[in-house]
Amino acid sequence: MKKDIILAGVGGQGILTIATILGTAAIKRGMNLKQAEVHGMSQRGGDVQSHLRLSDDPIWSDLIPYGSADMILSVEPLEALRYLPYLKEDGWIISNSTPFKNIPNYPPEEEIYREIKKIPNYVLFDADTLANAQKANRSMNIVVLGAAITHLGFSQEEIEEAIKAIFAPKGEAIVEANLRALLAGIETK
């Protein structure tokens, strides 16, 4: 298996946590992994992305070449569009539809949605509301991850196991909230 994933969002929205969960599950399978992160000035409310590459074969570049990502996994709809040049022809966009508006010229949501819907394979849904419904307000990122895992070839159990391992130090309540968030995402069609 080989999966190249662009994780997108705004600094502080939790895309690195998604990367850590997917990475943990991939390593458990014995896959190779490279994950390029963004640190520094861009993290201050700017757009951030992470290139996550998982493969059974050796991985060379830390960066995903243009036109070859299997998925753009975005916790914010405008950010999902920013990385379209990386997406391959039959790649998927999985994106939260709730905008994060910290710029004065944020485009109208309807226009953003229209652009996302031009991509043949997409899942666009309100992950914020689903997270809140699960009383897991801070786990919107995990809801988005939930919607992606079957497209990435991971099982619910594999991801649950990774979540338990990663969030265990933060206590049972946080683990449970994230597991509920994951399930809410998985059930999204």
Partner 1 sequence: MPKLMLLGDEALAQGALDAGISGFYGYPGTPSTEIIEYAQKSKQAAENNIHRTWSSNEKTALEAALGMSASGKRAMVTMKHVGLNVAADPLMNSAITGASGGLIIAVADDPSMHSSQNEQDSRYYGNFAMIPVLEPGNQQECYDMAFYGFELSEKYHIPVLLRLTTRLAHSRSGIVTKEPIPQNEMRKPEDMFQFMLLPAIARKKYQHHLELQKDFMRESLNSPFNAYKTEASSKKLGIITTGLAYNYLREAFKGEEIPYPVLKIGQYPLPEKQIHQLYDSCDELLVIEEGMPVVEEQLKGLAFPGLKPIHGRLDGYLPRTGELNPNLVAKAFSLPDTIGRPVPEIVVGRPPALCVGCPHSDTFLSLNEVMAEYGRGHVFSDIGCYTLGFMPPYNSINSCVDMGASITMAKGASDSGLFPAVAVIGDSTFCHSGITGLLDCIYDKANVMIVILDNATTAMTGGQNYTGYGKLEDICLGLGVEKEHIRIFVPLKKNYPEITQIYKEELAYNGVSVVIARRECIQTLKKKNKMETVE
Site residues (CB under 8 A) for partner 1?
A: 10-11, 23, 27, 32-47, 51, 57-63, 65-69, 78-79, 81-82, 84-89, 91, 102-103, 105-107, 111-112, 115, 119, 170-171
The smaller minimum CB distance to partner 1, of residues 119 and 148, is found at 119
Cβ 43 to partner 1 shortest distance, Å: 7
CA 69 from centroid of its chain's CA atoms: 13
Parallel, antiparallel or unpaired: strands 32-36 and 47-55: antiparallel
The smaller minimum CB distance to partner 1, of residues 17 and 186, is found at 17
The smaller minimum CB distance to partner 1, of residues 68 and 155, is found at 68
Let me know how long the chain is: 189
* Structural contact between residues 146 and 188, judged by C-beta atoms closer than 8 angstroms: yes
The C-alpha atoms of residue 185 and residue 189 are separated, in whole angstroms, by: 9
Cβ 148 to partner 1 shortest distance, Å: 18
Cβ 95 to partner 1 shortest distance, Å: 13
Cβ 147 to partner 1 shortest distance, Å: 21
The smaller minimum CB distance to partner 1, of residues 151 and 188, is found at 151
Of 49, 20, 10, 32, the closest CA to residue 142 belongs to 20
Cβ 185 to partner 1 shortest distance, Å: 24
The C-alpha atoms of residue 53 and residue 31 are separated, in whole angstroms, by: 10
The smaller minimum CB distance to partner 1, of residues 85 and 189, is found at 85
Of 71, 69, 9, 3, the closest CA to residue 32 belongs to 3
Apex 143 CA angle, 138 and 145, nearest 5: 120
